[in-house]
């Protein structure tokens, strides 16, 4: 821990890190940094470096924790052992448990948990480097990660801290101001001004409290604009990449040779004079074939009828019937029978 400075704010109203009383630290937000998480965010808030990941909605384990009418939200805040100057003992402690509880309550109110009954939404926040205001930085990162995961929310949650140093209210305390300041008040709220988290360590008068709320509201508004811009930039680039890939795929498909179709194409002739001639010719040909077939059939029937009639007339008159193919076969059969009888005798 560094020594306490003699003054936090100089005569010109400039703080030790070259900011004015109503200015926040530089903020950097990156969306979708973890491929295995449903939603993720990397955030730098001054010298704070925070990573947030969201998983879910997913099945609840253990089962007895599930709610039949809504999803449960689980928030885990953890500071890495190397995040502070003096190595921190790994694992949860009283402070991390308390921060996890209040942060979960701040976010859960803005999530449509009723859309996902019997499921869980898990939020993991890891502080990689700490420099005052880690709980507010973690909340900002977790809110962006929830949006990246596609979790339905009423609005984003933005957080910022207000403090008092040298009897002056300042926005977004740095490390020295947090360690040696007179008061510290982290606040989380929605863009419409609804407060989802408010804690205070120290003493403020009623007038200072009101002024601090106004300063925090302005700070949260600035953070919200950065969160929104980071999400829009990320998904705009993602949309451009997808559209480029689709266009490239269509170009490749267009350059490829077309495969011949197996379907037989039948050309439809227009109803012209040539077409009518072809139709007339076909009809005439069909008629002739039909007539020829009928004539042939009639001739054959007539010949058979005449032959049968002649045979009957000859038999009736007692005349000898000329041998036909059928009579010859009968005669041959009778001769064969006579030969068999002679041989048997």
CA distance 158 to 32: 18
Residues 216-266: tens digit of each pLDDT: 999 999 999 999 999 999 999 988 888 777 777 776 766 656 655 555 454
pLDDT of residue 254: 65
The pLDDT confidence band at residue 1, using thresholds 50, 70 and 90, is: low
Give CA separation, 334 vs 82, 311, 326, 327, in Å.
126, 21, 13, 11
**Is the pLDDT assigned to residue 37 strictly greater than 50?**
yes
Task: Tell me: pLDDT of 336 over 80.
Answer: no
Q: Residues 175-192: what's their mean pLDDT?
A: 94
pLDDT > 90: percent of the chain? 62
Mean pLDDT of 43-69: 95
Residue with the bigger pLDDT between 36 and 265: it is 36
Output the average pLDDT for the chain. Answer: 82
Give the closest residue to 140 by CA, choosing from 280, 29, 262. 29
Residue in the structure block whose two tokens are 């890495």: 80
pLDDT tens column, 84-108: 988 888 888 999 999 999 999 999 9
**How confident is residue 8, by pLDDT bands cut at 50, 70 and 90?**
confident
Say what the pLDDT of residue 7 is: 86
The pLDDT of residue 71 is above 70: yes
Q: State the Cα–Cα distance between residues 139 and 161, nearest whole angstrom.
A: 12
Separation CA 39–CA 150 (nearest Å) = 8
CA–CA dist 42, 234 (Å, integer): 13
Residue predicted with more confidence, 335 or 76: 76
């Amino acid at each position: 821990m560094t020594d306490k400075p003699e003054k936090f704010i100089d005569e010109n109203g400039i703080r030790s890190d070259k900011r004015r009383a109503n200015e926040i630290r530089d903020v950097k937000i990156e969306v979708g940094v973890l491929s295995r998480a449903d939603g993720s965010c990397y955030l730098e808030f001054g010298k704070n470096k925070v990573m947030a990941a969201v998983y879910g909605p997913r099945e609840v384990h253990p089962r007895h924790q599930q709610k039949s009418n809504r999803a449960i939200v689980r928030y885990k805040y953890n500071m890495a052992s190397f995040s502070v100057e003096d190595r921190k003992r790994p694992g949860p402690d009283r402070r991390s448990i308390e921060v996890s509880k209040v942060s979960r309550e701040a976010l859960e109110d803005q999530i449509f948990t009723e859309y996902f009954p019997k499921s869980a939404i898990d939020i993991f926040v890891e502080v990689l480097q700490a420099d005052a205001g880690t709980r507010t930085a973690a909340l900002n990162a977790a809110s962006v990660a929830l949006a990246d995961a596609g979790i339905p929310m009423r609005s984003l949650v933005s957080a910022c801290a207000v403090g008092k140093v040298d009897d002056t209210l300042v926005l977004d305390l740095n490390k020295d101001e947090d360690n040696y300041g007179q008061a510290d008040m982290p606040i989380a709220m929605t863009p419409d001004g609804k407060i989802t988290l408010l804690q205070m360590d120290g003493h403020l008068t009623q007038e200072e409290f009101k002024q601090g709320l106004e300063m925090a509201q302005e700070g949260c508004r600035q953070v919200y604009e950065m969160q929104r811009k980071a999400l829009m930039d990320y998904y705009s680039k993602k949309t451009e990449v997808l559209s480029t890939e689709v266009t490239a795929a269509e170009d490749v498909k267009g350059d490829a040779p077309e495969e011949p179709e197996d379907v037989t194409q039948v050309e439809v002739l227009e109803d012209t004079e040539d077409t009518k001639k072809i139709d007339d010719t076909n009809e005439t040909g069909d008629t002739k074939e039909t007539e020829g077939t009928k004539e042939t059939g009639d001739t054959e029937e007539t010949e058979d009828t005449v032959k049968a009639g002649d045979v009957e007339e000859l038999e009736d008159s007692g005349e000898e019937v000329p041998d036909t193919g059928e009579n010859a076969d009968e005669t041959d059969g009778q001769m064969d029978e006579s030969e068999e009888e002679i041989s048997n005798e």
